Amino acid sequence: MSETAQHSAHHIDVKEFHPRARAAIHNPQIRQNFRKAMDGLMTKRKSAFEGWDLETLRDLGANIRLRALANLPDLLEQLEQKLTENGITVHWATDGDEACEIVRDICLARNAKSVIKGKSMVSEEMELNHYLEEQGIEALESDLGEYIVQLADETPSHIIMPAIHKNTEEISQLLHDKTGTDLSHDVEYLTANARLQLREKFMNADVGVSGVNFAVAETGTLCLVENEGNGRMTTTVPPCHIAVTGIEKVVPNLEDVTALLALLTRSATGQHITTYFNMISGPRKADELDGPEEVHVVLVDNGRSTIYQDDELLDTLRCIRCGACMNHCPVYTRVGGHAYGTTYPGPIGAILMPHMVGLDEGRHLPTASSLCGACGEVCPVKIPIPDLLVRLRQESVDGDTVHPAKVAGHGAKRSTVEAMIWKGWSWMHARPGIYRLGTALGARFRKLQPGKIGGWTQYRTAPKLAAKTLHERMKERSQ
C-alpha cells in the first residue's frame, strides 16, 4: 500500500479482519441489507444471461483477457502511441503515491481548486480524495453511491454499488443531516435532490477525474461504462479531464470490447446494457462546441507488474471489476465489504489485495473463504479464484516447493509448532507400521481426546475418534 494510503484518515488495519467480521455477523441490519441486495443481484444476473450460451461467452471473455495480458507490454506501448497521437497526455505511475502527485501537478498547473470525480476504484487504491484535500483541492464524488459514502465519511463496501450496505431509511437520514433534504423513502425524490446538488459542482469544477473500464490500444480509445450520466458530465464539462486506470485494463481492439461489455453489465447489475457507454478519444477539437481542453491518462502499476511476473498469479489481472464473485460469496454476503478493511473486498480482494498490502498485512484475506467455488463459477472471465486463494494460503505459510513464495510478506502465518505437526504427520504416513500403531493407540485412548481444539471448536463440535480404525473394520469385514 502506498504511503498516502497508510496515512489516510480511512486507513483500516487489514489484520483486524476477524473482529470486524464478528461485529458484522452480529449486526442484523448489516446482514439484512447485504442479504437483500445480493439476492437481488444474483437473480438479475441469472435473468440477464437467459437465452445466452453463457459458457461460450465466458470462454470468449477469458481468451480475450488472456491474449491481452500475453501481449501487455506491446499493447501498452501501442496504447501510449495512439493516445498521444489523439492529443491525450500519458503519464506512468509506479504506485499510488506517484499517481496522486501526477494528478496534483496537473491541478496545480491549471490553478485548480476543485475536482469532480466519476467512479474509479483505482482512485480508491490511491486514496486520491484524501490526498487532494491535504493539498487544498476539493474533491467531490459524483457517482450517487460514492457521494453517499463520502457524505458518511466511509469507504465503499462494494466495487459496483459503494453504498449497498445502507438501506433507504439510512440514506434518507444521511442526506437530511448533511444536505438538508427532507426525510423521505421516495428513492426518486432523494436521487433528484442529490443530482440537483451535484449539478452546480459539475459546472464549477476545474478538473474532472474518471476511471476507465477498457483502454483500446488499436485506436487509443478510453471506454467508460456507467448508468447515471455523471461519468459523461465528469469527462466533458470541466475544462480538464484526468483518467486514472490500472495498466491491465488495455485490450487490443474495439471488437474485443463488445464481448467484455456484454459480460460486464450482465454480471455486475443484471443489465443487458448500461444507460451510458462513453468512448473518449481526445480533447475538444477546434470545431467542436464542448468537451475538455486537456485530457490526461495516468497508467497506474501499483503492484500489477509483480503479479504479471508469475504465470499462475497473472490470472488475477484478468478481472473486469464486475463484482459477481462478491455477490455470490457466502462470506462477503454475511460480513459485508467493510469487514475486509481493503479497497477491494470479497473474493477478488482476497486475491488482489495481498499483492498491494503484502501478506503480512493481508494474511487473513486468503482464508476469508469457504472455498465453495461459487466465485470461480460466476466469474465472467473464468479467473480460477479458489486456486489462487489456495496458492496465497500456501504463500502465507511458505514451505511449498512447487510454487516458491513470491508475494511480499510471505510466511506471515507460518507457525513452527504447526509445521512440526505436519512434518510428523507426513513422517508417520510414509511408514505403514508406525501409522497403524498410531491410529490404533488413538482409537484405544480416544476418551483422552480434548473437547476443545482451538478455533475449530469455537463454532463446531469437536470431531471424535472412532472406536476402531478403518484397517480394523476392513479386516473384520473380510473375515
pLDDT for 1? 43
Strand partners, 207: 115, 240
pLDDT of residue 8: 52
| Per-residue pLDDT at 4 | 43
For residue 5, what pLDDT is reported? Answer: 42
Q: What is the pLDDT of residue 464?
A: 87
Backbone angles phi, psi at 207, to 5 degrees: -140, 140
Residues of the chain with pLDDT under 70: 1-11, 399
Give pTM, 2 decimals.
Answer: 0.89
Question: Cell numbers at residue 343, please?
Answer: 479497497
pLDDT value, residue 11: 60
The pLDDT of residue 398 is 85
Q: Give pLDDT, residue 460.
A: 86
CA distance 313 to 406: 10
Residue 258's CB is within 10 A of a number of other CB atoms, namely: 11
Strands 276-280 and 221-226: antiparallel
Contact 222, 297 (CB under 8 A): yes
Pairing of strands 114-117, 207-210: parallel
| Identity at 86, one-letter amino acid code | N
- Residue 452's pLDDT is 86
Residue ranges and CATH numbers for the domains of the chain are 20-51+324-414 (no CATH), 63-302 (3.40.50.10420), 416-478 (no CATH)
Residue 241 · residue 294 · CB < 8 Å: yes
pLDDT value at position 463? Answer: 87
Mean pLDDT rounded to a whole number for the chain = 93
16 C-beta neighbours (distance < 10 Å), count: 12
What integer pLDDT is reported at residue 63 of this predicted model? 98
Q: What are residue 250's DSSP bridge partners?
A: 215
pLDDT of the residue at 135: 95
In 3D space, the residue among 443, 441, 436, 449 whose CA is nearest the CA of residue 468 turns out to be: 443
